[in-house]
Chains A and B, each alone.
Chain A
């Protein structure tokens, strides 16, 4: 069975709405049977792919985000950011970015952020007279900070696949995430200047202090999680578990997490994790087949036939991720391309950490682009806005992410600066 046939079968099944995991599994299973592999071999690889210690961080970080959401931390971050930025013109735009940054320290998934924060951010902006495109655009785009700023689900999956240190990849992602937030603020500033309808509010010191009370304890979470990982107190997987226990305690102490909220967090985590892990696991089987067919070697030779310049290689990776990201789910792309791109990257002497940062940001941009953009769909659904309208709103906010990816391609050593300072 040829690779081309395998690829076509998968593409057809994907378009015909077969869930991603099964679109991978069906043709792969057929391949294994035709190639005379023993019965059970395919499912054994799929099952065992889920059993990896780094990937244990996936359910734990999803649970962390779900608990933070059900404990109302998004609302409290929003209230606090509002109080602090009351006098700033266009404050709600900056507040949207700021709450996304705050929440990104507890959440590793853009979709979860878009859902949790969009419900608070977008109605507030619409009520204050901001345009619908602006409101949905800034809310959807700023949710991309979550999977870039550690903890990050894509970074966990990348590290597991590339056998690199999750901690080092987390450290390398901090600066790009901060730059993303700064870039979004610049776009907000430019857009707000053009809209005279938007006015600033009044600064109220009492409100700042009152809202601060609600966020002090949750904002210790990043010190425990990021500090725990970057300071070497815990592995990322362990830090995820410690973070979950901490947020649970905060929820209980502040009486903000109900038993029902707790159960809902668990159920949401199980279903979300299963959806992601099934894709990761089934893509691993496909990876086995590609390895058996020597596709990585063929692509490596092909690439070197074109260029020996690592910058060109990285630029091509970005283009590949941007194109694939428009139509396929980010987790699926990640799991498929990392085993193929890693050997090539090593031949180009590209640091796997740099590759990880570049691939993750490029893929996250795909969450904002039609026809398949999960963040786009979520934002459109919760704000009852047309998808095209949200996408138009997102366009100016995609610029900073693109600029950061380009900078990372041109200056890969800068990406490694923080991990090196921290000695990771």
Chain B
């Protein structure tokens, strides 16, 4: 368990760290992320052992966030918007068009601009952010092509329920509707929702191509995953902290390339088959301009600071 982990450091038995997440074992977050972290940490041979619990076995996102803060789970993989439950401004990493691409996210996380928000988060919660990767950009699906903001008018689009996503919906000009993730396929098929937005890997695993006609590549938000570690972080020695950070760094690179490969393969398959139409000619600039203007107007002070810090690290 987490609590007696620190006591046994140094020589002798390895410290066992639990790494929990919500993804299935064939998703890139597990294959190229969690598993890579466990393997790299074991290879570093610094008296650390990472034990993975996938597929929400140790509870849903909200449960696990609280467990990381209380030290009952050591490491977790969480979306920035979910972490807003501990410290609101961090959820801005999930703001619409905050990041241009995965490289931008990596550049931001490595920059001094990221320090204020991450340090404030750690001070407030006792939870340390090691790094972040993107599980792909979120795209719209609907029964019509979405090329410009006006195309969203009159559509009921399913967004996740947390505040940052609902702000994003407003920023993009969409009418958000609430549907549980498990009921998404059904809701789209039956027309209780007209569209939804998710990264391509989720769109694929939910088989949404069967119930929607268009996938519009708006790339309106990076689906960030933050690697967080609870109070046990401060019980690790310098060597162990470095080994864990290095393992995460390797995993970030792996996940990024796995996601790219998976997405490219999936898009090729969809373009070749006639299941639905892939809309490439989206006026991304129009969406970005509208969203950024809305966010700069409507985010509160702390959140706006983070948003602007992110934008200054863009190319």
Contact = CB atoms under 8 A, between A and B. Distances in A.
B185 A165 contact: yes
A54 B1 CA distance: 31
Contacts of A37: 1-3, 72
Contacts of A291: 53, 57-58
B253 to A, nearest CB: 29
B67 A41 contact: yes
Contacts of A424: 186, 189
Contacts of A45: 59, 63
B210 to A, nearest CB: 9
B180 A53 contact: yes
A235 B72 contact: no
A292 B58 contact: yes
Interface string A27-55: 00000000111101100110010000110
Interface in A157-213: 159, 163-168
Contacts of A235: 179-180, 183, 186-187, 192
Nearest to B18: A292
A423 interface: yes
Contacts of A54: 180, 182
B3 A164 contact: no
B89 interface: no
Given A37-B72, A38-B3, A167-B183, A231 B59 contact: no
B72 A233 contact: no
A319 B71 CA distance: 40
B61 to A, nearest CB: 11
Contacts of A167: 183, 186
B4 A165 contact: no
A276 B92 CA distance: 40
A288 interface: yes
B315 interface: no
Contacts of A53: 180
A413 B55 CA distance: 26
Contacts of A48: 59-60, 62-63
B70 interface: yes
Interface in A270-315: 288, 291-292, 296
Interface in B39-74: 53, 55, 57-60, 62-63, 66-67, 70-72
A44 B182 contact: no
Most chain B C-beta atoms within 10 Å of own C-beta, residue among A159, A291, A424 = A291
Contacts of A292: 53, 58
B191 interface: yes
A232 interface: yes
Contacts of B4: 36
B205 interface: no
Interface residues of B, number: 28
Which of A38, A53, A163, A296 has the most chain B CB atoms inside 10 A of its CB?
A38
Contacts of B312: none
Interface in A93-115: none
Contacts of A168: 186
B190 A163 contact: no
Nearest to A290: B57
Interface string A406-424: 0000000000000000011
A35 B185 contact: no
A41 to B, nearest CB: 5
Contacts of B53: 291-292
A53 to B, nearest CB: 5
A38 B72 contact: yes
A163 B189 CA distance: 18
Contacts of B191: 232
A165 B183 contact: yes
Max count, chain B CB within 10 A of own CB: residue among A44, A231, A292: A292
Contacts of B55: 343
B192 A232 contact: yes
A38 B1 CA distance: 10
B183 A231 contact: no
B313 to A, nearest CB: 36
Contact of A232 (B2, B58, B71, B190): B190
B230 to A, nearest CB: 10
Given A48-B63, A235-B180, 15 more contacts: A36-B2, A36-B3, A37-B2, A38-B72, A48-B62, A54-B180, A163-B182, A165-B186, A231-B190, A232-B187, A232-B191, A233-B190, A235-B183, A235-B187, A424-B186
Interface of A: 35-38, 40-41, 44-45, 48, 53-54, 159, 163-168, 231-235, 288, 291-292, 296, 343, 423-424
Interface of B: 1-4, 53, 55, 57-60, 62-63, 66-67, 70-72, 179-180, 182-183, 185-187, 189-192
List 6 A-B pairs, minimum CB-CB distance, nearest first. A232-B190, A36-B3, A291-B57, A38-B70, A35-B1, A36-B1
